[in-house]
Copies of this chain bind each other. A is one copy, B any other.
Amino acid sequence: MPATSVGVFKIATSGPGDVSGLMSLISSGTIDPKSILAILGKTEGNGGVNDFTREYAVAALCTALAPHLNLPPHDVEQRIAFVMSGGTEGVLSPHVTVFTRRTVEARPDGRSGKRLSIGMAQTRDLLPEELGRATQITETATAVKAAMADAGISDPADVHFVQIKCPLLTSDRIAAAAARGSKTTTTSAYASMAYSLGASALGVAVALGEIAPGIRDEDVLRRYDLFSKVASTSSGIELMHNVVIVLGNSTSSASEFEIGHAVMKDAIDAAAVMAALNSVGLGTTPQSSRELVNVFAKAEASPDGSVRGFRHTMLEDTDISATRHARAAVGGLLAGLAGNGAVYVSGGAEHQGPAGGGPVAAIARLSS
Contacts and interface: CB of A to CB of B under 8 A. Distances in A.
A89 B325 contact: yes
A219 interface: no
A330 B331 CA distance: 9
Contact of A270 (B268, B314, B336): B336
A2 interface: no
Contacts of A331: 329, 332
Nearest to A284: B284
A262 to B, nearest CB: 14
Q: How many copies does the complex hold?
A: 4
A339 interface: yes
Contacts of A318: 46-51, 321, 324
Contact of A93 (B311, B332, B335): B311
A340 B310 contact: yes
A341 B52 contact: no
Given A56-B56, A89-B320, A329-B89, A313 B270 contact: no
Interface residue tally on A, bucketed by range? 35 or more
A307 interface: yes
B307 A91 contact: yes
Contacts of A55: 17, 56
Interface in A284-343: 306-314, 316-321, 324-326, 328-333, 335-337, 339-342
Interface stretch (A8-16, A103-111, A151-159): A8-16
Contacts of A268: 91, 332, 335-336, 339-341
A191 to B, nearest CB: 12
A193 to B, nearest CB: 13
A296 to B, nearest CB: 16
B88 A312 contact: yes
A162 B316 CA distance: 29
A304 B50 CA distance: 17
A90 B49 contact: no
A332 B267 contact: yes
A149 interface: no
Nearest to A334: B332
Given A53-B52, A335-B329, A94 B269 contact: no
Contacts of A267: 90-91, 332, 335
A92 interface: yes
28 contacts: A12-B311, A17-B59, A44-B50, A44-B52, A46-B318, A47-B318, A48-B316, A48-B317, A49-B317, A51-B318, A52-B56, A59-B59, A63-B63, A89-B329, A90-B332, A91-B267, A91-B329, A267-B335, A270-B336, A307-B340, A308-B339, A309-B340, A310-B340, A310-B342, A328-B332, A329-B329, A333-B333, A336-B336
What 6 A-B pairs come out closest when comparing CB atoms? A48-B318, A90-B329, A332-B332, A329-B332, A328-B328, A270-B336
Given A59-B59, A308-B341, A331-B332, 17 more contacts: A17-B59, A44-B52, A49-B318, A52-B52, A55-B56, A88-B313, A89-B320, A90-B90, A90-B314, A90-B325, A90-B332, A93-B306, A93-B313, A268-B341, A273-B336, A309-B340, A330-B332
